[in-house]
């Protein structure tokens, strides 16, 4: 009898965990499912196995760290960020994935577009916020101010992963305001790790691309 009760309770717990995981995955809005199962450390020089294992422990989320994944297009920055995000979801963390352009749109429209309002509330309630393609283009003064306010509001409340093909020292050119850029970087870099993907690294997407001929 006791064994039967234990089996039923275990089954119910597994079901609850699965439903919670599904809910968190939906919440995160990852662009695709990219996990560590398909992440090959040998394809890049940015991380070794020891460093990756430290990241997988996820203590940096609790400490509100910022990880900046910096390097050329196709080097595996997004794959690593999504794999870490999914790894965090599997451990019960709330994660949000958003591109910089999507984030700017959400920040500009959250007051009058319901979908943006809902998405914004989910993002600011997340333990880990992944922003892809940071400083991919030049932003207007209003957008730069909105981004600063966003970072200011979440300072010491969430961990970040930012992917960019530009170093933080170049961000001022895209935000157009050196003072504002400094204020943003002061908060993001207070507790941070910059992981640099070698510029000589071949594009993984190009290396393993599907071809027609």
**pLDDT surpasses 50 at 206:** no
Strand partners, 164: 70
- The span from the CA of 193 to the CA of 181, in Å, is 18
Q: Which residues contact 131 (CB under 8 A, 6 or more apart)?
A: 98, 99, 100, 103, 160, 161, 162, 163
Q: pLDDT at position 213, please?
A: 40
Q: Which residues contact 79 (CB under 8 A, 6 or more apart)?
A: 34, 38, 39, 204
H-type alpha helices, 2-41: 2-28
**What is this structure's pTM?**
0.84
Strand partners, 130: 97, 161
**pLDDT surpasses 70 at 204:** no
Q: What is the residue-averaged pLDDT of the chain?
A: 83
In tens, the pLDDT along 63-116 reads 999 999 998 877 788 899 999 999 999 999 999 999 999 999 999 999 999 999
- The span from the CA of 100 to the CA of 175, in Å, is 12
Neighbour tally for 95: CB within 10 Å: 28
Q: pLDDT at position 100, please?
A: 92
């Amino acid at each position: 009898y006791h064994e039967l009760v234990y089996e039923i309770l275990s089954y119910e717990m597994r079901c609850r965990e699965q439903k919670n995981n599904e809910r968190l995955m939906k919440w995160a809005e990852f662009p695709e499912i990219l996990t560590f199962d398909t992440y090959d450390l040998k394809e890049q020089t940015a991380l070794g196995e020891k460093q990756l294992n430290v990241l997988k422990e996820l203590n940096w989320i609790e400490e509100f760290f910022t990880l900046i994944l910096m390097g050329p297009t196709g080097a595996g920055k997004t794959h690593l960020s999504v794999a870490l995000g999914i790894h965090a979801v599997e451990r019960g963390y709330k994660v949000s994935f958003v591109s910089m352009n999507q984030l700017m749109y959400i920040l500009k429209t959250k007051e009058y577009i319901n979908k943006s309002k809902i998405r914004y509330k989910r993002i600011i309630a997340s333990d880990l916020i992944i922003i892809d393609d940071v400083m991919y283009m030049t932003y207007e003064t209003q957008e730069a101010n909105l981004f600063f306010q966003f970072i200011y509001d979440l300072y010491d409340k969430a961990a970040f992963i930012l992917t960019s093909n530009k170093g933080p020292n170049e961000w001022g050119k895209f935000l157009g305001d050196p003072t504002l850029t400094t204020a943003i970087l002061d908060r993001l870099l207070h507790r941070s790790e910059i992981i640099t993907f070698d510029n000589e690294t071949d594009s993984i997407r190009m290396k393993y691309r599907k071809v027609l001929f």
